[in-house]
Amino acid sequence: MGQPLRVGIVGVGAISGAYLSTFERLEAVRLVAVADLDAARASAVAEAQGVRALTVDELTTDPEVDLVLNLTIPAAHAEVALKAIAGGKAVYGEKPLAATLQDADAIIEAGRAAGVRVGCAPDTVLGTGVQTARKAIDDGAIGTPVAATATMMTPGHERWHPNPDFYYQPGGGPLLDMGPYYVTALVTLLGPVESVVGAASHTRATRVIGSGPRAGETVPVDVDTHVTGVLRHESGALSTLVMSFDSVATRSSRIEVHGQTGSLVVPDPNGFDGDVELHELGGEWRTLEPSAGYRDAARGYGIADLATTPVGEAARANGDLAYHVLDIMTSLLAAADSGSTVKVESRCERPSAVPLSAAPR
């Protein structure tokens, strides 16, 4: 193995803890610096990790940083990514790639022009859950795929998140917040999407924070909070998607994939593992042993995958995939607004499968 990829994090809020924990066991990446608008928070994390605390401008131009991990809120994704690219850095961002397709396009084009790599979460699809399901499909276990369902039903993140404002601002909502996990999984399982139809609703003007120092405070809702649609994959398969912050609970599987000779239950795409269940025609449900994917994966494996992918080859959690996923989601919102079918203009290659293996090295 060569030298580890030197990573600087911009934004050390709640999600950064998951990445920091993963980096401790990945040989392919090494944290070297952190930055945050809250300088005291950056200093505290830097001291705990034994790295430098920098400003955003310093980190995105620092010669010791190879890749900027962008963990800011969606509205700031493009600004930070473009600064990093201008500084000659590879970038890897939390989902979605940007708050708007126009901003995402700017990131992809800037990365290509600068000759630097662009990656994006979610990397949950690299774990044994989705990858085992993909292998079953690729091996013909369900015959020709016909349809899929993807369902996420919750009462909203304000019940547990102490600062949920951005979930209800442009760039948030159930589709752009949680949809990337589900849509990325659907593209991984069934390939790219060519068109969408949909409908959406906006049921409440405000939400009440349920925990933390702001408990009882209301936040405005400026996005649709229940979105449903049908995605037509290039393969001809149809995926039905329901994303909601307006429901209480559901017993629906997170993802199911149905083929002519079998059906699969796919585990939660917001996780890396979980049971994959197969029901073949004439048989009964049985749980498949993990047969593909990174074992014991966690947030940050997408960066390690990028670090170990040869130059000239596409890393699995790449920018083109994230752009296509964002295009699907924004097209779905446009379809819901217009009441018509919307063509998805972008295309991406279905990411290469992950053989059953340990962490990328």
Q: What is the pLDDT of residues 18-70, one digit of tens each?
A: 999 999 999 999 999 999 999 999 999 999 999 999 999 999 999 999 999 99
Q: Which domain holds residue 269?
A: 124-293+323-343
* Per-residue pLDDT tens over the stretch 172-225: 899 999 999 999 999 999 999 999 999 999 989 999 999 999 999 999 999 999
| Residues 129 and 115 grouped into a single domain | no
Domain C-terminal end among 74, 104, 120: 120
What gap in Å lies between CA 303 and CA 202, rounded to an integer?
Answer: 36
Report yes or no on 79 lying in a domain: yes
Q: Are 306 and 117 a contacting pair, CB within 8 Å?
A: yes
- Give the chain's domain count: 2
Residue 64 resides in a domain? yes
Strands (E), the chain: 5-10, 29-35, 52-53, 67-70, 90-93, 118-120, 145-153, 193-201, 206-208, 218-220, 226-233, 238-244, 255-259, 262-266, 276-280, 285-288, 342-343
Same structural domain, 101 and 139: no
Based on the domain organization, do 113 and 137 belong to the same domain?
no
Q: Give pTM, 2 decimals.
A: 0.95
The enclosing domain of 217 has a CATH number of 3.30.360.10
pLDDT of 119: 98
Instruction: Compute the distance between CA of residue 5 and CA of residue 171 in angstroms, rounded to an integer.
Output: 30
Q: Are residues 115 and 24 in the same domain?
A: yes
CATH number of the domain at 47, please: 3.40.50.720
Domain shared by 178 and 95, yes or no: no
For residues 163-168, average pLDDT: 91
CB 321, CB 123: distance < 8 Å: no
Check residue 239 and give its pLDDT. Answer: 98
Same domain as 102, residue 188: no
In a domain, 318, yes or no: no
How many other CB atoms are found less than 10 A from the CB of residue 181? 25
String of DSSP letters for 105-153: HHHHHHHHHHT--EEES--GGGBHHHHHHHHHHHTTTTSSEEEEEEEEE
pLDDT in tens, 272-310: 999 999 999 999 999 999 999 999 999 999 999 999 999
Residue finishing a domain among 77, 95, 120: 120
**41 shares its domain with 158:** no
- Give the model's pLDDT for residue 23: 97
Closest CA to 299 of 28, 6, 20, 12: 20
320 is written with which tokens? 């083109």
In a shared domain, residues 96 and 233: no
Q: Are residues 143 and 80 in the same domain?
A: no
Tell me the two tokens of residue 179: 């949809």
> Which of 120, 155, 171 is the last residue before a domain boundary?
120
Is 354 among the domain residues?
no
User: Can you tell me the distance from the alpha carbon of 106 to that of 177, in angstroms, rounded to the nearest whole number?
Assistant: 21
Domain match, 135 and 266 both: yes
23 contacts 29 by C-beta, under 8 angstroms: yes
What would the pLDDT profile of 253-279 be if each residue is shown by its tens digit?
999 999 999 999 999 999 999 999 999
Higher pLDDT, 311 or 228: 228
Average pLDDT estimate for 159-179: 91
Q: Is residue 312 part of a domain?
A: no
* Residue 317 within a domain: no
Looking at this protein, which amino acid is placed at residue 150?
A
Provide CB contacts within 8 A for 320, sequence distance 6+. 108, 314, 346, 348, 349
Phi, psi of 218, deg, nearest 5: -100, 150
